Amino acid sequence: MTKLLLTVPEAAKALAISRSKLYELLASGAIRSIRIDGSRRVPVDALTDYINTLMEEAAA
């Protein structure tokens, strides 16, 4: 089964950025996340949405 939610380190690795940069993006609202019992999780589709936004901005 494919993961639907990633930990912050997993999401940072998937985007090839540092954990601190990912936390900046989460804090700014650029990438959506959720909390489950105090643990931050990043939906895989939130990463896809972020990448699509970057691609649209680059094309403009």
pTM (2 d.p.) = 0.90
Per-residue pLDDT of the chain (60 residues; tens, 9 = 90+): 899 999 999 999 999 999 999 999 999 999 999 999 999 999 999 999 999 999 999 998
Long-range contacts of 6-10 (CB under 8 A, 24+ apart): 6/41, 6/42, 6/43, 6/44, 6/47, 7/39, 7/40, 7/41, 7/42, 8/40, 8/42, 10/42
Whether the CA torsion 40, 45, 51, 52 is positive or negative: it is negative
Domain extent for 22? 5-59
Do residues 25 and 50 make contact, with C-beta atoms less than 8 angstroms apart? Answer: yes
Distance from C-alpha of 52 to C-alpha of 60, rounded to nearest angstrom? 12
